[in-house]
Amino acid sequence: MTRLSVLMLLAAGCVAAQVPLPQEPTATPRKSAAAPAPKPAPPPSWKDLVYPPIHAVAIPDVETITLPNGMKLYLLEDHELLLVQGTARIRTGNLFDPPEKIGLATLTGMVLRTGGTRTKTGEQLDKELEDAAASVESSIDEGFGSVSFSCLKENLGEVLADFHDVLIEPEFRQDKLDLARTGMSGGIARRNDEPQGIAEREFTNTVYGKNTPYGWEEEYDTIDRVTRADLASFYRRYFFPANTMLAVWGDFSAPEMKVRLEKLFADWTVEQPPVPAFPPVSAKPAVGTYLASKSDVTQTFFSMGQLGGLLKDKDYPALEIMADILGGGFQSRLFRRVRTEMGNAYEIGADWAANYDHPGLFFISGSTKSVSTVETLRAILEEVERIRSTEVSEEELKTAKDTALNSLVFAFDTKAKTLGRILNYEYYGYPRDFIQQYQRALEAVTRADVLRAAKRYLAPADFTIVAAGNPEQFGQPLSKLGRPVTALDLTIPEPKKQAVQPDAPSLAKGREILARVQRAVGGAGKLAAVKDFTVTQNDRFDPSAGRLDASETDRWIAPSHLRQDSRQASGPISTYCDGKLGWFSSPRGAGPLRGVTLREMRNEVFHVYFSLLLAGAAGANVVAVDDRTVEISAGDGIVRLVIDPATGLPQQLLYDSPQPNGPPKPMEEEYSDFREVNGIQVPFHVTYHLGGKYLAESTVSQFQINTGLQLEDLERRP
């Protein structure tokens, strides 16, 4: 053990520490309250307290060994508790996810343990470990993978054996991949449920760039593509001894543990080429205000800031002091102004969050009631401007330095922390005495340093500001901040339906079925002659659907212009789509179609009876699924059409209906009451089932074809 009295340095930062005091507290005169006194003396002011020097911190030695197979061991004895714990760190990360399979690394990390080993299923491991109140767990995060264990000393043998097996011979059983995917899908579906989560995520991803590994998100599609074979090959590429650091701490003898681990891992001899460097951060400033609208919230959650830096940057200590004075605690400028004085926030803070190996983020985040959004953001920007234009006060500097230096002792309060720090330093190539260097640099920071660093690094004009809230209640628009406002589309992309793989017979049969439908409804020629139509219908919804009954008029002009006007108790609603883009107008507002609503309208265009039945001519894929069903797909549209085997008339249309919350649900349209219009059989009654439950029915009252509709009538907004 080396006894470094690093913390003697800390004492220099504290009040009156220069006064040499005996270490025995009883020797100080002000402790005289112990002596009987008729009247207790009034308590001293906190300013008059004199503190004895702090006891020295014992910094333990960490034994470092490289095994013959290349694996590095870090051993630290800690005999306080009868426990042994360990963690293997592997150089990998979700930064290595292929763009089409984002989530691969995370899934690999989850299923590594849950999917069991060659000799034991995941459930067998669960039972064995839980019987002993022990654990073996695994994960892969952004910049490293971990497999760790924790157990009673007495169970070390069997737990280490399981740990070894999970690390070197995982089986990735399919059922646990499916389970992990279910969990992850739940995470995707729920990611817009909390406005705070939205603000933080959109800020991070926008600053790093949404098309980079630092800023992209897993989606249903990207995790659906991941197979068991992908997990195994991702594992093989990164999990090898020369790429692994194993730290073990607890109640054991280090020389014995070394022998034990060397023997245990002697059979792990796989080799792989060195793992490449992580992709660099390639972000350009995403300047402006980004609005994530959420109509159901009463507060605006915000995150604002910019790209930050590394822990080893020369200016890091000054920047940390700067961020602390700006928004680091109860005494910070933002806390005092926004919380204490304005009463506008409960949580408000700033952080210069530096990373070991890639630029971190500088961010200010918090939440405020909707109506105070703009004034709060403005006050924050003023404070950022102030800290980069004038020096902080001597008092502020002292408070920030004392806070940082005096609390540094907590970095040494357990042996596990010391070991974890050394593991990080080795992993990222930092010197082992980095924290001592940092402490000295912190002590040397001056007011001028803080201003210089703030000036050099903070660029409030280039800030990315993300606000998640309800803009209708902001009181004043976000544009009042004088920065461009961009609306964020939070729509969760739904999984793409896999089209039936066509082969020659199914294609031929598909054409045959389609031709039969065309003949049954009046012939392809009559269908092709439809240039426009106007239909008026009544829509009745099931009470549980939570929708209002409506009378609706749809107008269509070939090939893809569709307008729907509906009247319901709450007022008129109009939507228009040209097949690609469109708009809507309702009593509660108007604007461009986006997300689910846009996809719904594009589906409607694709589903137009006359053009759909001509799909073959329009260049879509038509594939037979069975004797009476064809799958028609074009672009991102995909439907299944079921015909009545007796008449050849269309009977059902099946497709996925996008949902505002969560993945799409299957929609089933059932056609009946066919009547002839311009020589074509048209259904006058449609019944809808959504997700297997009755949803609604539409009854046509009038259907007109080729009345000479004009495009400008469709495009005209109400």
Partner 1 sequence: MIGHRLTLVLLLTAATLPAQDLKEFEKKVTEFTLANGLHFTVVVRHEAPVVSFHTFVNAGSAEDPGGETGLAHMFEHMAFKGTESIGTKNWPAEKKALQDVEDVYDRMEAERNKGPKADQSKIGYFGMQLKQAINVAQSYVESNEYTRIIEENGGAGLNADTSFDYTEYFYSLPSNRIELWFLLESQRFLHPVFREFYQERDVVQEENRMRNQPGSEGELLRDFAATAFEAFPYRNPPGGWPSDVENLRRGMAQAFFDKYYVPANINLAIVGDVDPAQARRLAERYFGPMPARPLPPLVHTVEPAQDGPKTAVVESQSQPLFAAGFKRPGQDDADDPVYEVISLILSGGRTSLLYKGLVQEKKIAIEVEASPAYPSSRYPNLFVIFVAPAVGHTVEENQKALEDLLAGFGAQKIDAETLQRVKTQARAAVIRRLDSNAGLASLLASYYGNYGDWRKLFTQIDDLNKVTAEDVERVARSCFVAQNRTVAFTAAPRRPAAAGAGESRQ
Residues 497 to 536 in contact with partner 1, rule: CB under 8 A:
none
Question: Which of 112, 126, 120 shows the shortest CA–CA distance to 228?
Answer: 112
Q: Name the one range near partner 1 by CB under 8 A: 62-70, 232-240, 397-405, 628-636.
A: 397-405
Q: Candidates 386-394, 516-524, 546-554, 615-623: pick the segment binding partner 1 (CB under 8 A).
A: 546-554
75, 184, 454, 615: which one contacts partner 1 (CB under 8 A)?
A: 184
The maximal CA–CA distance of the chain, rounded, in angstroms, is 114
Question: How many residues contact partner 1, by CB under 8 A?
Answer: 145
Instruction: Name the pairing type of β-strands 244-250 and 72-77.
Output: parallel
Which residues inside 599-658 make contact with partner 1, applying CB under 8 A?
A: 600
HSE (side-chain half, CA atoms, 13 Å) at 155: 18
27 lies in the binding site for partner 1 (CB under 8 A): no
Residues 6+ apart with CB under 8 A from 224: 181, 495
Query: What does the block give as tokens for 463?
Result: 């800030």
The three-point CA angle 610-586-598 to 5° equals 45
Q: Is 201 an interacting residue with respect to partner 1 (CB under 8 A)?
A: yes
552-591: contacts with partner 1 (CB under 8 A): 566, 568, 570, 573, 575, 584, 586-589, 591
Which lies closer to partner 1 via its Cβ, residue 409 or residue 634? 409
Choice from 243, 399, 506, 537 touching partner 1 (CB under 8 A): 399
Q: Using CB under 8 A, which residues numbered 410 to 429 contact partner 1?
A: 410, 412-414
How many whole angstroms separate alpha carbon 277 and alpha carbon 209?
Answer: 19
CB nearer to partner 1: give 377 or 513. 377
Distance of closest approach, residue 363 Cβ to partner 1, in angstroms? 13
Pick one of 336, 509, 526, 685: the residue that binds partner 1 (CB under 8 A).
336
Of 369, 716, 675, which Cα lies nearest the Cα of 555?
716
State the nearest-atom distance from the C-beta of 506 to partner 1, in Å.
Answer: 28
> From residue 274 to residue 313, what is the string marking binding to partner 1 with x (rule CB under 8 A)?
-------------------xxxxxxx--------------
**22 is a site residue for partner 1 (CB under 8 A):** no
| CB-neighbour burial class of residue 645 (10 A; exposed 0-12, middle 13-18, buried 19+) | exposed
Q: Tell me whether residue 287 is exposed, middle or buried, using C-beta atoms within 10 angstroms of its C-beta: 0 to 12, 13 to 18, 19 or more.
A: middle
For the CB of residue 456, give the shortest distance to partner 1 in the complex, in Å: 27
Interacting residue with partner 1 among 211, 340, 672, 701 (CB under 8 A): 340
Q: What DSSP string describes 563-600? A: EEEEEETTEEEEEEE-SS-EEEEETTEEEE--HHHHHH
Task: Enumerate the H helices of 267-356 as residue ranges.
Answer: 316-327, 333-334
43 touches partner 1 by CB under 8 A: yes
Does residue 388 touch partner 1 according to CB under 8 A?
no
Of 127-146, binders to partner 1 (CB under 8 A) are 127, 130-135, 137, 141-142
Residue 38: how many other CB atoms lie within 10 Å: 4
Chosen residue from 460, 595, 616, 637 binding partner 1 by CB under 8 A: 595
Nearest CA-CA partner of 177 in 114, 117, 237, 120: 114
Contact 162, 125 (CB under 8 A): yes
Residue 540 engages partner 1 in binding (rule: CB under 8 A) = no
Among 222, 243, 365, 367, which residue sits at the site for partner 1 (rule: CB under 8 A)? 367
Q: Which of 87, 92, 108, 185 is close enough to bind partner 1 by CB under 8 A?
A: 185
* Distance in Å, CB of 634 to partner 1, minimum: 24
Instruction: Pick from 344, 439, 611, 698 the residue near partner 1 by CB under 8 A.
Output: 344
- Contact 249/419 with Cβ under 8 angstroms? yes
What minimum distance in Å lies between the beta carbon of 550 and partner 1?
Answer: 8
Cβ atoms of 59 and 418 closer than 8 Å: yes
51 forms part of the interface with partner 1 (CB under 8 A): yes
